[in-house]
Amino acid sequence: MEYTAEDEILITESFDDLLVSCEKICKSEEDWEIIKRAFTLAKEAHKGVRRRSGEPYILHPIAVAKICVNEIGLGVKSVVASLLHDVVEDTEYTLEDISAMFNPKIASMVDGLTKISGVFNAETSQQAETFRKMLLTLLDDVRVILIKIADRLHNMRTLGAMPREKQIKITSETIYLFAPLAYRLGLYAIKSELEDLSLKYRFPEQYREIEQKLNKTQEQRTAFIEKFDAPIIRKLRESGVDFEISGRVKSIYSIWSKMQNKQIPFEEVYDLFAVRIVFNPSPLIPEKSQCWHIYELVTDIYPSRPDRLRDWITYPKANGYEALHTTVMGPDGVWVEVQIRSRRMDDIAEHGVAAHWKHKYVSDDEAVSDPAFDAWLQQIRDALSSPTENAVDFLDNFQRSLYTSEIVVFTPKGEPRRIPKGATVLDFAYDIHSKLGAKAIGAKVNHRIESLYTPLSNGDQVEILTSANTHPTTEWLEHVTTPKAKQYIKNYLKKHRQNNIERGIAIFEQRMQELGITPSARVFRKLLPAYECSNKDEFYSKLGAEIIRLDHIQEILRQNSANKILKFWTLFVGNKEKENIDDPEPDKKGDKSYVVGAGDDIDENRPSFEIAKCCIPIPGDDVTGYRDPATGKIIVHKTSCNELTRLASQYGSNIVSDIKWSSHKAMSYLSIIELQGIDRIGILLDLAQVITGELSINIRELKIQSHDGIFEGTISIYVTNVQDLNTVMNKIGKIRGVEKVKRIQQEG
Ligand code: MN
């Protein structure tokens, strides 16, 4: 489609706007010239192409460049690379062209921004490979990832035009990787916006609900903050502190997460507030002392919660963040978080790594050392150091390392080392040296002997004990949390795995011969899930390593593998064809939904469904499907499931979004309820009566434990839908002594 005169005006205006932003970064004629040249090329390359929203494509690279300048604080080269970032991927131009027309540096940045192309089979993930490539580029040039984040931010801001599958794929990647990355790079505002936008497109109703409730209570909150601030302002002025104080409400996403994690309504999210005090330090006293002075003044007014004091000044966060955080009891019995920072600390907090970046790169390319930033890069380098790991594992490990907070642990000589919170003695051993890890048998933690699996705490002093006769085992993998330790252990095990596979095959074949069974595909279909193995190799190697045994193999083979409940599922799936980007019209065929019953009479050509074990959705839950590339089956997850998010961020093309429940009143589904309360005689009877008597629902399992006057337990029941489940939970909640009733959500 040719651009209209209106389009041309829009493009020109948008680019002019970018040029205005560039005034603060362009220092020479060459700077202006190269930006204009990049624009001309990008406009030519994307000529006639439109985004899904209908606007000319070139507006996207311009918007990304604008974010880089205005919101991240990047320079000229980044603007040029932003303008060109989709040229190689989407048009005829090659990297060689870019290199010749601009320079090799720009070309290598554009390369880092270009997706990996080619054919990927079910075991590899193009998404994961692309991320790995992007992260590798990060080691040479952090700007690539900052531009990628800007690119993502703009795509998220314009996500409304995308079809549902794409929205789930993109929001998953955003939540799984980009928001944590933005956080790790210290881009807090962008991280927050990415999270909010993800929520907005993933759960539009819940997003709107929180937004409305926040708006409704706006005045009330402003009044509260004023009341809270008043005595602090008075006290700080009296002491001659030069400061600014600002109150803010948590982001919609963080409120939503809290509601999800704690299973509480909006009204019970109590710590909605945070107050920030930024001071201009007086020159003669160290900043640190001044922070503590302000802390003292504040906690003289409001009592603090000792367990919530965070000293990021003595040990700044890995992303360079420095501040003092405390939570105090404000007026009306409300907890308020107070953050205390100097102007310099605030600058780092607001601009994150870009602030480091500016210090690090005085003139766009000339590196200056910055210890905090370099330490962070070193961590990524460690995570990337093993080329044998497949991209999906790598991404999972890397992702996990992004969000964890850190603690400081001391060596026997008193050298402080940062390790992620939750790390064990074994992690620490590997952190010091891979050889020390491989030979570790335990440690002296604060002079006491502890096992390898003991999690370390802030301030521990740790001396690793070794033995020449020990070696890594599969069990170790369950007791380490750092990617580095995992990788070393995996590498060791892999080396020994091939031997195990061969042994496993021999053991298996012998046993099959004894039983007179031919190991057919049908046999493996039963064995693999029963032994929780995802493929034959895993099965053989576990068998060879004696992790699994064939003691019950006959019973397993006798069992009917079909899950009884599955026969009753009825789900609708839209008969939508694969999305076609060139086709701006949404696919009309989506209306032709058909019913799929996962029963015996299933039509071979229709997809069959399986209920995800991680989140166990039941009718009424908002669900999304994931087509298992190995079996073609659609695994049905709750839309809010973390595992689904992980899958969608790596195998986004397998997402099946248009799955709906059909109401099927006669059938029932398994659901698990967790309860807690004060023990009293007869409570069990009351429970059973409510469930089976009044509501005539079938209990499959009732597990109650009681200790010290408290009871807790789980009830597995069959219900027809979410409404029924809620009715049961309400009734149970009203039983005398029951304090908490909660549906079990997915683990981890
Ligand atoms: Mn883009």
Residues 656 and 705 reside in one and the same domain: no
The CATH number of the domain holding residue 333 is: 3.30.460.10
| Residue 174 CA, ligand 1 centroid: distance in Å | 14
Residue 409 CB neighbours (<10 A): 23
Q: How far is Cα 272 from Cα 250, in angstroms, rounded to an integer?
A: 6
140 catalytic? Reply is: no
**Residue in 8, 89, 242, 244 annotated catalytic:** 89
Residues 674 and 629 reside in one and the same domain: no
Closest CA to 55 of 154, 200, 196, 183: 154
Which pLDDT score, from 0 to 100, does residue 732 have?
87
Residues 545 and 576 reside in one and the same domain: no
Length of the chain: 748
Q: Which string of DSSP letters, residue by residue, matches 577-636?
A: PPP-TT--SPPGGGG--EEEE-STT--TTSPPEEE-TTT---TTS-EEEEE-TTT-PEEE
Hey, is 49 helix, strand or coil? coil
Q: Which amino acid is at 391?
A: A
Burial class (CB in 10 A: 0-12, 13-18, 19+), 465: middle
Q: How far is Cα 276 from Cα 323, in angstroms, rounded to an integer?
A: 10
End-to-end CA distance of the chain: 48
Residue 582 has pLDDT above 80, yes or no: no
Residue 543 resides in a domain: yes
| Residue 154 CA, ligand 1 centroid: distance in Å | 8
Average pLDDT, the chain: 80
The last residue of one of the domains, among 629, 661, 693, is: 661
| Residue 85 CA, ligand 1 centroid: distance in Å | 6
Tokens of 322: 């420095």
Residue 612 resides in a domain: yes
Residue 505 resides in a domain: yes
Mean pLDDT along residues 21-40: 93
Q: Are 729 and 661 in contact (CB under 8 A)?
A: no
Residues 231 and 301 reside in one and the same domain: yes
Number of domains in the chain: 5
Residues 12 and 153 reside in one and the same domain: yes
Residues 299 and 323 reside in one and the same domain: yes
| Residue 376 CA, ligand 1 centroid: distance in Å | 26
The last residue of one of the domains, among 661, 677, 692, is: 661
Residues 677 and 647 reside in one and the same domain: no
Residues 642 and 703 reside in one and the same domain: no
The CATH number of the domain holding residue 716 is: 3.30.70.260
Residue 25 has pLDDT above 60, yes or no: yes
The last residue of one of the domains, among 308, 332, 357, is: 357
The CATH number of the domain holding residue 89 is: 1.10.3210.10
Residues 128 and 239 reside in one and the same domain: no
Q: How far is Cα 415 from Cα 449, in angstroms, rounded to an integer?
A: 20
Residues 328 and 251 reside in one and the same domain: yes
Residue 273 resides in a domain: yes
* 3-state SS, one letter per residue, for 689-707: HHHHHHCCCEEEEEEEEEE
| Residue 148 CA, ligand 1 centroid: distance in Å | 8
Q: How far is Cα 647 from Cα 176, in angstroms, rounded to an integer?
A: 10
Residue 182 resides in a domain: no
Claim: this prediction has a pTM higher than 0.75:
no
**Identity of the highest mean pLDDT range in 94-103, 248-257, 371-380:** 94-103
Residue 533 resides in a domain: yes
Residues 524 and 644 reside in one and the same domain: no
Residue 234 resides in a domain: yes
Residue 477 resides in a domain: no
Residues 9 and 128 reside in one and the same domain: yes
| Residue 60 CA, ligand 1 centroid: distance in Å | 7
Q: Are 185 and 319 in contact (CB under 8 A)?
A: yes
Which pLDDT score, from 0 to 100, does residue 301 have?
94
Which pLDDT score, from 0 to 100, does residue 562 have?
37
587 catalytic? Reply is: no
Hey, is 743 helix, strand or coil? strand
725 contacts: CB under 8 Å, gap ≥ 6:
618, 671, 673, 719, 743
Read off the pLDDT of residues 146-193 as tens digits, 9 standing for 90 and up: 899 999 999 999 999 888 888 998 999 898 888 988 887 778 889 999
Instruction: At 717, give phi and psi (nearest 5°).
Output: -130, 160
Which pLDDT score, from 0 to 100, does residue 578 have?
35
Mean pLDDT along residues 580-600: 35
| Residue 383 CA, ligand 1 centroid: distance in Å | 26
| Domain of 121, in residue numbers | 5-161
Which pLDDT score, from 0 to 100, does residue 320 have?
73
Q: How far is Cα 231 from Cα 497, in angstroms, rounded to an integer?
A: 66
Read off the pLDDT of residues 531-564 as tens digits, 9 standing for 90 and up: 877 778 888 888 887 778 887 787 777 765 433 3
**Residue in 55, 71, 90, 686 annotated catalytic:** 90
